């Protein structure tokens, strides 16, 4: 555990091949670009990469994600400013893919800034339907708006509410809750937003996350889908939150059918037990994805 904070070391018993996990945390994060179908055709985008001598691969289950070699400064290119792509880590593209909103649907992105997932939802919907992109922070909303404009997203309404207080006047077909979290999954030696002191806030964060998930299940229509995600390894922020929401009897968990390198969610941790259905959720570890750590749960409103 040399070079790892205590908050990461606590998961040693959960991780298959701990040495590979630690080694992944000490590698630079690959450069991942999500092709933006709203702005450019795929072949034209690929031709632009080829002209620059840039090679790529598609990580499992994310066909619009290009893991590129030979690109310096992905936010400094003409193609970036034209909105042809969005720098977006592989695991960050998984929540919209799992939620899979259909064209013409009504979608709420409850914690939307800075907009990578919002713009991906718009692309998956072919620019049709309506997305409501909400965030609590005025500063982050400014970044969200700038990204959506650059990426040519035209079907999105931006609003500013505390997520847990979002109005219940409308029913959505899909809701994405990419919840604020401790960011443990973003810990890699040369990057990420993980703060070691966030461990002291797990109780506060998990309570907030449960309120956000409850709100999502209140504003999605019966039979509608909710995708809950975090970039945290902490079961307190992941399975515990989903299990608590399920216990309220208004939702069930849907299996995630995509071919993804995830591991089933935990049903127990540190003396706590979670509902068996939580095993249908997925954890993503960096040594399996060479990306950030992530957690995803797909729920359906039943009540």
Residues forming a β-bridge with 87: 33
CB 137 within 8 A of CB 69: no
Give the angle 272-292-48 at the CA atoms, nearest 5°: 155
Instruction: Print burial letters for 216-244: b (CB count within 10 Å at least 16), e (below 16).
Output: bbebbeeebbbbbbbbbbbbbbbbbbbbb
CA gap 166, 161 in Å, rounded: 6
* Whole-angstrom distance, CA of residue 113 vs CA of residue 126: 20
Diameter of the chain measured on Cα atoms: 56
Active-site residue set: 231
Counting other chains too, the contacts that 142-150 makes at CB distance below 8 Å and 24 or more residues apart are 143/113, 143/114, 143/115, 144/112, 144/113, 144/114, 144/115, 144/118, 145/115, 147/86, 147/114, 147/115, 147/116, 147/118, 147/119, 148/115, 148/118, 148/119, 148/122, 150/81, 150/83
């Amino acid at each position: 555990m040399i070079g790892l904070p205590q908050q990461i070391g606590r998961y040693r018993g959960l991780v298959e091949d701990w040495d590979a996990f630690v080694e992944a945390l000490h590698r630079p994060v690959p450069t991942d670009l999500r092709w933006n179908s709203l702005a450019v055709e795929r072949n034209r985008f690929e031709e632009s990469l080829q002209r620059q001598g840039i090679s790529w691969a598609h990580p499992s289950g994310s066909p619009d994600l290009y893991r590129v070699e030979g690109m310096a400064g992905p936010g400094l290119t003409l193609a970036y400013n034209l909105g042809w792509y969005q720098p977006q880590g592989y695991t960050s593209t998984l929540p919209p893919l799992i939620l899979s909103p259909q064209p013409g649907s009504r979608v709420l992105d409850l914690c939307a800034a800075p907009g990578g997932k919002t713009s991906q939802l718009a692309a998956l919907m072919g620019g049709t339907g309506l997305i409501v992109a909400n965030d609590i922070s005025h500063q982050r909303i400014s970044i969200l708006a700038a990204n959506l404009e650059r990426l040519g997203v035209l079907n999105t309404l931006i609003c500013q509410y505390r997520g847990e207080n979002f109005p219940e006047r409308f029913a959505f077909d899909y809701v994405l809750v990419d919840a604020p979290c401790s960011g443990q999954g973003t810990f890699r030696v040369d990057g990420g937003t993980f703060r070691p002191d966030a461990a002291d806030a797990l109780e506060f964060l998990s309570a907030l996350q449960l309120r956000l998930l409850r709100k999502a299940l209140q504003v999605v229509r019966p039979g509608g889908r909710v995708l809950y995600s975090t970039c945290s390894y902490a079961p307190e922020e992941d399975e515990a939150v989903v299990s608590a929401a399920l216990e309220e009897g208004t939702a069930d968990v849907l299996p995630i059918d995509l071919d993804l390198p995830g591991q089933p969610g935990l049903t127990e941790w540190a003396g706590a037990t979670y509902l068996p259905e939580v095993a249908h959720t997925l954890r993503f570890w960096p040594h399996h994805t060479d990306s950030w750590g992530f957690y995803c749960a797909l729920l359906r409103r039943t009540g």
